[in-house]
Amino acid sequence: MVEIYAAIIGASIGIAGMTASGVWRRTAESREAVVRLTMAVESIAGKLEELHQDMKADRKEIYGRLNSCESRITSLEARPTSRD
């Protein structure tokens, strides 16, 4: 009878150990996944900031050129036309 109890206790300890090992492994994997995802989000945020800065610079250049073209058109419209 003692052997049966010993076998049950031994099996229970083995199952508990395997369960604890599995939980620990899953926790470690989850932690690593969170770190990878956090790094990916930070990378994307950095790239979005770079894109935003590029867009601001492009917008500034485009509006500068547009202003220059508008000034030229205004000066051309102000010239008297010569009609024969």
Q: What is the pLDDT of residues 22-50, one digit of tens each?
A: 777 888 888 899 999 999 999 999 999 99
Task: Name the CA radius of gyration of the chain, rounded.
Answer: 36
Q: Is the confidence at residue 80, as pLDDT, over 90?
A: no
Q: Is the confidence at residue 84, as pLDDT, over 70?
A: no
Output the DSSP codes for 21-42.
HHHHHHHHHHHHHHHHHHHHHH
Please compute the mean of the pLDDT values over residues 8-16 and round it to a whole number: 77
pTM beyond 0.75? no
